[in-house]
Structure formats: structure tokens, C-alpha cells
Amino acid sequence: MAQSWASFLLLALFSSSLLVCGSNGERVFLYPQSQKVSSIVSQRYRTAYHFQPPKNWINDPNGPMYYNGIYHEFYQYNPNGSVWGNIVWGHSVSTDLINWIPLEAAIERDTPSDINGCWTGSATILPGNRLVIIYTGADPEKRQVQNIVVPKNLSDPYLREWTKAGNNPVIQPVGPGLNSGQFRDPTTGWIGPDGLWRIAVGAELNGDSAALLYKSKDFLNWTRVDHPLYSSNSSSMWECPDFFAVLPGNSGGLDLSAAIPNAAKHVLKMSLDSCDKYMIGVYDLKSDTFIPDTVLDDRRLWSRIDYGNFYASKSFFDSKKGRRIIWGWTNETDSSSDDVAKGWAGIHAIPRTIWLDSHGKQLLQWPVEEVESLRGNEINHQGLELKKGGLFEIKGADSFQADVEIDFELTSIDKADPFDPSWLLDVEKHCREAGASVNGGIGPFGLVVLASDNMEEHTAVHFRVYKSEQKYMILMCSDLRSSSLRPGLYTPAYGGFFEYDLEKEKKISLRTLIDRSAVESFGGGGRACIMARVYPVAVVDGVAHMYAFNNGSTTVRVPQLRAWSMRRAQVNVKGME
């Protein structure tokens, strides 16, 4: 039976908080700062099925690959503490992308070309099943240079030991206009029109951002091409570039080491502005350059891989299942002192299958199917109806570790509010102004997770529908502002827009993976993804709730709601080797 959203707001008001009205009419809670909360130093905030090491700092995923029946996940790792520094390559292996065996560090800072850091890089499988990793090192002068390692013993299925090339660094930051301190993160290799290998390296070139192009016959000796793969004057540096091919409307992946179909598009992904953005275009074989389909001068309008806490992603072709998989880093949003006290910091998002939509304009993402192996008992509801203010509690699933899938069906699209294109310049601002408690024509409707008994703590993941001149725009928000009573946390209202053909598709889907301090959501079949970190006191106290809700004027039907409790994965548990 649906309950009233307003009744929970009133309960929260009279229990421990003050309710004020902003200038736009939104209801905002102010919580007494003197209220005692439990310590953030709790194992309950460690995720149960997201990737993280047993302790210490983790950031970028590095060189992910599938090789001889084993998945490898390398990662930026501080073996000495839970803040950034002393970076080496951590290493774990898996047969299913979900359960991971921890190994010793694969690449350490022990040569002049990486003595000040073993930074991000990529793996490439060469003809003859030969494997090579190229990565960035910081030399004694703290110049950023590119190095090569190869497996020491191919008979070891886990590839525990690696040998550094004798001619390292294989690429140095030389050439006019190149900033030697902004030259890093080489991509996976691909074969160019002349049969030579190519890689791209993120760089600052004459004050602009660039993906510099290098070519090689043997992957050991590299020559810089006289022009970049692509460059832009909209920023000064791109980190963690990724370059890969996709086929419109085909969820299968493409192997860059093989021939690429003529109908394929290419994606150039870059990390900047604390998020991962991308362009779709063509790889012009004659000019050896990437040509975007659309060039937007304002980088705030560039497409994003994820609208939340997701950075430095790296993709690879999974030859086992013929798909492309992407991983991203998600940092903590508490303080560095909290991380030191906890003894750990950082996780990786769930690995996602990534492909291009049938229109060739947008990347779609979905959790790899293997994560479903963790599903336990299923809760299934059909034929729900959420009127304005409706709130339906989802009972029977573990509210701290869950996988929730909901289809929302609109009873009418006549009341869609008009879309303002200026919102695209600051979507988070619009999500703050159009929060879950602010009534709209269609929406907000969605999911409330990790909610305390009286809703003073809750995270709302929700949609709104807007009508532009020729299309409908869906706003997806993941609002963390009331996610925790703890002071000093970063609690934004993340958000992104995506186009949707509501004349054709009346249903809007939402899938949310809840994993203690991680809330990872996929809207519209993967058109918008939002990864978030939250630290509710409710997690430590052991009591939390989940709800489907509608706070818009238009009634929303829920033809199907499914939720599963998620079992704990074996993620880097010591003694698994």
C-alpha cells in the first residue's frame, strides 16, 4: 500500500530537524549539529561486492584485460597508507569479474624511469598472444615518461611477475610545446592504416589539451606522429584518454587489434573537470586523426560517461564474451583524516558493458551480467500505482546490499514542464533546485534508498520529464544532500539529462545497486549513469528502508518492481591465493 511522502517529511520535521522553505519553495531540512552520531570508522561502510583492496588507498583502474582465461585488474595503489602517494600497480585476478584474488604489486617504483611513481597505463595483446603493458612513470626530475613491462613467466596463469624493458623509458616528453609534467596515461594500442601500432598519450601541448599520437613497429621503439590524434583549446590537459571502436546499435565489443568494420564509429574518452567525458566520431585513416561528429566549444556540454563520482575509467575488449567493459574509480567523499582513521580509501565502480546506441549518438552502459550471480531472494511487485505524494516501501530485501530494478510508466505526458537548455550548463544546480520534494508536472519519481526510520537520512534517485520543442528530455538526479547526518561530508545533488522518445516508449527504467556506502544507478536503460558514495548513520546502526515514490502531479504506474538482496562477493580476501 502506498504511503504519503508528506507524512514522512512531517515526521522528520517534528523528530529532530528544522524545515525551512527556500526561495523556490523547496523544503530543506536543517539538522542540529550537536546531535551525536556514530564514528565513521566502521567496517560497515566497506562495500560488499564493489572492488577494493583490503586496506590503503586506491585510485585509477589500470590495464584491465582478459588473458588466457583470467581477468586482470591492476590499479593505482599506495601500499603504505590510505592517502595518495607512493603509487605502485596493485594487481588482482578473477574468473568472473566479481570475485577477486589479491596478488603482490605488479609494477613497483624501482628504476630511474618510475622512481617517483608508477602511474596509469594500458595493456595490449599483440599477435601470437604476446602481452605488453605501457604505463607512465615519473623520473628523478619528475618528468612523466612512458615505460614498458612484459610478463616474466607466461606459464603462471596469474602473471604475478613482470619484467621492465631494458630501453625504458620508451617515450620521453620531447618536442616543441610539450609540458613534461603533463604527459601521461597511454592507451591500449591499435593498428593503423600502415600496419604500425598506435597509442595515444594524454598531454598538454602549447597550453591545449591533446591526445598525442605515437607509432611503432614492435611496441618497443616509438616515434611521435607530427600531429595529435585530437586536440582541443577548451582545456589544458586530458588525463586517462581511452580510444575504442563501437558499432551503432550493437552491444558487442570490437577488438582494436583486429580489423574494424567500415560502419564502426570511434569514441575518444578523456578525464577532466573531475569527471569522464567523451566524443563520438570517426577515425580518419588518411589523416590518421579522430574527427568528432559534433564539436562543442563549451566543455560543460560534452557527453559524460557518468554524472556522479566516477573518474579515470579504462575499457578493454573482453574476448571471452565479445563485449567491451569499462571500469571507473570512485573516491571517498569524507575527509582525508577520516580515511586515515578508517585505513582505506577508494573503490571501483561495478564493471559495465558499454556500447553505442542505434542512433550512433550516445554510449549506453549496464552492469556486467556476472553481478547477477550475487542475487539472493527476489521481491517482485506488479501493477503498482503512485499518485502525487505516493510512497511505497520495498520490504523483504536487504536494504544495505540490494539490486533494484523498477519500470515507471507514465499515465500521461501532457503535463511535462518546459525544458530550459541553460540547465545543461549546470545540471547539479538544477537538481538542487528541483529536488525530490519539489512538485513538478511529471516527476520527481524514483527510488529512495538508505533511509532512516523517520527519513531524516535518505538518498533519492529520481527522474523528471521535460518537453523541449521537438523532443522530451529526462532529468535524472541522485541527491545526496540528506544522505547522512554526519558533518563535513561532500553531499552534492548529481544529475544528468538524456533524450527519450516518450511517444514510442512510455516506460522509463531505473536500476540501482546499493552496496553500503555505494549507490550506483542506471537510468533509461543505461542512457544516464550516476555513481555515488554515502555514509548514513543508518548503515552503522543497522536499520534502513527503501521506497518507490512519486512527488509529481501526474500519476505514475509501476508495472514491475524487482529487488534482490545481494550476497557478499569474495573481493581481495587474504588467503584466497
> Would you state the cell numbers that stand for residue 121, as one nine-digit string?
597505463
The three cell numbers of residue 407 are 519500470
First to last CA, the chain: 49
Residues with Cβ within 8 Å of 166's Cβ and at least 6 positions away in sequence, in order, are none
Residues 344 and 57: their CA atoms lie apart, in Å, by: 6
Phi, psi of 12 (to 5 degrees): -65, -40
DSSP 81: -
Helix (H) or strand (E) segment spanning residue 538: helix 537-541
Cα 246 to Cα 357: distance, rounded to the nearest angstrom: 10
Which residues have CB under 8 Å from 337's CB, separation 6+?
Answer: none
Compute the Cα dihedral for 369, 565, 49, 157 and give only its sign. negative
In the beta sheet, which residues pair with residue 536? none
- Whether residue 467 contacts residue 520, with contact meaning beta carbons closer than 8 Å, is answered with no
Amino acid in position 133: I
Which candidate, 509, 504, 505, 529, places its Cα nearest to that of 519? 529
* DSSP line for 544-577: -EEEEEE-SSS-EEEEEEEEEEEPPP-BS-TT--
**Cα–Cα dist 186/167, whole Å:** 17
CA nearest neighbour of 121 among 318, 285, 312, 310: 312
Find, among 423, 424, 493, the residue nearest to 462 by Cα: 493
Bond from prior residue into 444 cis (ω within 30 degrees of 0) = yes
**How many beta carbons lie within 10 A of that of residue 423, not counting itself?**
18
How far lies 459's CA from each of 99, 232, 433, 493, 517, in Å? 28, 37, 16, 10, 11
**Using CA atoms, how far apart are residues 14 and 25, in angstroms rounded to an integer?**
19
Examine the residue annotation and report whether 60 is marked as an active-site residue of this protein.
yes
The residues that are catalytic are: 60
